[in-house]
């Protein structure tokens, strides 16, 4: 049974990037203390930590040290050692299970899990070590593990291009992409937001609430998301990404954590994904969440000056992460109420 962790206690966060930063900010508002583990002592979440441990994510002893400081432990990204977590969760209070990590860290396991729940996926070919596979169409080849923002994937059309430890996904005609940001506390599952996402160069560019999907499409995506949460040992925020192709809702992937598309909820929702996650992992009741029309833009390093100038002229809600600006690096986001398009920037 999930424990009740009240303000004044310590939340441990594995990862000190912007997701960890915004989790820590929400937890601090509620009166929690924060312990963070990250390989960089320049990470942007460090400023909000009461305890900071500089260590690699696969350093078992240091991760256990974080656990000893913490009354509950969470993580800001899923590429941590599931085997290590399986050992630690027997002694410490993890509420996002190692089994969820094993599924979501591996694209084949993830799609097989979705199919086991009768949730439709794109057609795919699983490649382990044998690349002697005939293909007669264009596929999107993705590494089985450790891919994000388009990294570890490329289009292929020839047998000779197939690499080991990949999954070949059949390309589909894409109407739109949506994500369901949900939270599971010890009482029930709540939907924080259903978000429509636009990517450029495989990086999330713009998000919008509400989506342009039909009521039926949104309802089906929510049904699939609840089915996933009902069939895993997990508490907290979880996001499921879906394609909509020729009107059909198709599973893409699971993020067992707070999610970039959920940053919009800092303004759109009556409770942000970060506050909801803190409440859920601490055994508190999250309650019903409602949204208003909002638009999000990600801010990449090369666009820092544009958005700094924009905020002097246009009212919005700017969130910079205090990260060094580099090309295509996410250094912040900005939310606007309403359906906003930024003129020449959108073109």
302 is in an annotated binding site: no
142 is in an annotated binding site: yes
Instruction: Locate the DSSP E strands across the chain.
Output: 10-14, 33-38, 51-54, 72-75, 124-127, 139-143, 153-156, 166-170, 176-184, 189-200, 203-209, 236-245, 248-255, 294-300, 317-320, 330-337
Q: How far apart are CA 344 and CA 347, in angstroms?
A: 5
153 is in an annotated binding site: yes
Q: How far apart are CA 291 and CA 89, in angstroms?
A: 35
In the block, tokens 């293909």 appear at: 135
273-281 and 18-30 helices, crossing angle to 10°:
70
328 is in an annotated binding site: no
Judged on CB neighbours under 10 Å (0-12, 13-18, 19+), 140 is middle
User: What does the block give as tokens for 211?
Assistant: 């989506």
What order of strands is seen across the sheet that includes strand 330-337? 248-255, 236-245, 176-184, 189-200, 203-209, 294-300, 330-337, 317-320
185 is in an annotated binding site: no
199 is in an annotated binding site: yes
169 is in an annotated binding site: yes
148 is in an annotated binding site: yes
Judged on CB neighbours under 10 Å (0-12, 13-18, 19+), 131 is middle
DSSP 223: H
253 is in an annotated binding site: yes
User: What does the block give as tokens for 48?
Assistant: 């909000």
Gyration radius of the chain's alpha carbons: 20
Paired strand residues for 34: 11
330 is in an annotated binding site: no
170 is in an annotated binding site: yes
3 state DSSP class of 121: strand
Residues of each annotated binding site: 107, 142, 147-153, 169-172, 177, 199, 252-253
Residues of each annotated binding site for ATP: 107, 142, 147-153, 169-172, 177, 199, 252-253
């Amino acid at each position: 049974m999930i424990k009740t962790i009240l303000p004044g206690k310590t939340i441990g966060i594995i990862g000190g990037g912007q997701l960890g930063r915004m989790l820590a900010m929400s937890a601090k508002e509620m009166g929690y203390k924060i312990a963070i583990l990250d390989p960089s002592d320049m990470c942007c979440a460090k400023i909000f930590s009461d305890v900071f441990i500089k260590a690699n994510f696969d350093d078992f002893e240091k991760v256990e040290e974080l656990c000893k400081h913490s009354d509950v432990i969470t993580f800001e990204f899923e590429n941590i050692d599931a085997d290590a977590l399986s050992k630690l969760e027997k002694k410490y209070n993890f509420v996002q299970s190692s089994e969820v990590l094993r599924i979501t860290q591996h694209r084949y396991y993830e799609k097989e899990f979705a199919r086991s729940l009768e949730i439709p996926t794109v057609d795919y070919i699983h490649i382990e070590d044998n690349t002697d596979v005939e293909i007669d169409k264009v596929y999107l080849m993705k590494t089985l593990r450790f891919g994000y923002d388009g990294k570890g994937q490329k289009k292929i059309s020839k047998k000779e291009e197939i690499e080991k430890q990949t999954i070949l996904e059949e390309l589909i005609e894409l109407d739109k992409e949506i994500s369901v940001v949900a939270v599971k506390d010890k009482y029930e599952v709540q939907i924080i937001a259903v978000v429509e996402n636009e990517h450029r160069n495989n990086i999330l560019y713009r998000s919008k609430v509400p989506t342009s999907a039909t009521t039926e499409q949104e309802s089906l995506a929510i049904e699939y998301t609840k089915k996933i949460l009902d069939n895993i040992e997990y508490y907290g925020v979880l996001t499921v990404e879906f394609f909509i192709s020729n009107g059909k809702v198709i599973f893409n992937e699971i993020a067992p954590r707070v999610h970039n598309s959920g940053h919009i909820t800092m303004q759109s929702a009556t409770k942000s994904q970060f506050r909801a996650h803190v409440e859920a992992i601490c055994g508190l009741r999250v309650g019903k969440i409602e949204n208003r029309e909002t638009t999000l833009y990600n801010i990449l390093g090369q666009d820092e000056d544009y958005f700094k100038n924009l905020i002097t002229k246009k009212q919005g809600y700017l969130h910079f992460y205090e990260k060094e600006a580099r090309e295509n690096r996410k250094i912040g986001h900005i939310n606007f109420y309403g359906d906003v398009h930024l003129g020449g920037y959108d073109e």
